[in-house]
A and B are shown apart, each in its own frame.
Chain A
């Protein structure tokens, strides 16, 4: 869980930084998208690195989901009879929403790939014009896309807040001061990532990027 989670987190950081390139203009953004395909050239064929990365991510996601499923099944098996009086959350809200949050994020990722990678669900859907795709995607008229995107990113934020903390704990963080630091790191990280990801659609929505 922790190891695959960390791989995915690294990807999220890179992906967010890439997204923010949109503020440097259409040329630059498209160029960045083009560069992604060229990494490793000439050793690798075009988009070779991208495919390696995609396969890697897919494996990580599958392992992550696999581990989560095992944990969820174990949890279910571990409590065959439910409580009649449902517990209030007394620990952490983020921790209690990991599983449903994870499902939301998964659904979003599928949509997101169909939208901005394959272009199937995108109004423009031209792989050569990523900047235009993004702008068209978050156009004010398509507010529901932005809303869904926002929800997914917030869910991701919660997921990360507990996920990062939990990963550090699983990898052996063990002191009370360390726990405070780990919680702080997780919170700052989750908020920063949320903000980074939300900047783009809201910039489009408000016309800052067009």
Chain B
């Protein structure tokens, strides 16, 4: 059977043409508005309370809409945006170092390996400056200089210092800013907040997204909720790999359910693997912890030259070490971009030169930096990271080199949206990491926070009005056939999961799925591997539906049941990821196909055939998806081969 079929091309009809720097202004002018009196009559559902969802819910409520907000955590403040460490980019040019909106735009399109839309990325760069203003006004304690002005640093290999930060907890501080704005609206009665609620289905009425089916995770009650528009801000799907830097609860369910109801899923195979994570320590491992990328500024990455060298790293003499990044990429050295550093680590481990008990690790050594700058200086710069490393591994990185290994960190793919952030289902908007976003095939450091807040504070609240201007729409209630059916589907599915009563736990399946994905759809993909993975995923999915054991019932808090539903959706997504990776016969950004590399082993794009967004349409379970291509045109940033030699 064919893995997929190809349908009509798709186009983003909302983006105005004309000079790129005027497009956002034109769109805002041309979009219809909703008068304040009418806003009060309209309800918007927002799923997720991270940077995108929290800021969108707060902003929509400030504008006068009635907002219903949902999150699976016990408080909107806990969304996983909170874990972002590094910083947030903005084209403020406070350093007078040649930065500009255009340069941020240029860097982001190039960093995305020419697989993102110019219009969107330019808007992102424009809005970036407003985000910083907004967050400062909210009292976000950004790092400051002695003069009282904001400090910035360069991040992720950028040549300008445009990254604003709050120590290593930028995501936390930005999220708390959005959360506080949201809580203010909750206190004012403009937002109805539903914590510990999980969206399990989208309700589509007459072709429009009109509501969701949610399960109250505490009581188990399933309800249908309605609105004039639905916004998904439910984050990324990195947990399909089981082990990732995502929070344990991160899942694809909200977006996958919407996909099954008609929203196209774009570029699912674009995943970002972060090079500096703490390696797996054993089978019990439940998640991976990121160590800030900034460590590569002073640490040197190496492995022993000889295979299977088990000596204590301090006993391995200098000439028996391979500082492979410095060797292969003399000009960028240890600071090559994330995808390149990750793949290089994988290659040396595949050669059998990995270190640590699992042999899946490389050294990140600070001995030289400590000798050069002194222990004090290193402590001041990285003290908290070193402490965290020691807490987790029990090893003192001042004495023994750190061991690091790449881990899944971010997913660039997501639901397809047009310039208005509207999916292929009218009335369904998707923001933040949940959409296929502005990052193309690879996201630059400090850009995720920028995109989440840009979507939530500034883009969606403007573009959604164009849709709502036609509202309020006809009242729908739980008795509508579409709602009844959606609700019944949810209940049936939960009952089915509970009834299997097999002999394997949900986690054991999830772990196995993750291994398949990591092996064949991780840092390096090949046709044979992907085909194998698709077969294995299908077989494992069948096993799952026959052998999983979900204890308890659906009547109250049942964490196994929550996990089972999420893993069931990951199975379906995993297959689509592999199909997308298989069909994309090129290497670009985070997607590296073994068959498509330059003689030096670098990613080789094929712009003639693959300069498009792959938007997948769901047909039916077990039936091939339909591929719709959205051509990407580059008028301002001309595709070139990335080189870091």
Direct contact of A and B (CB under 8 A): no
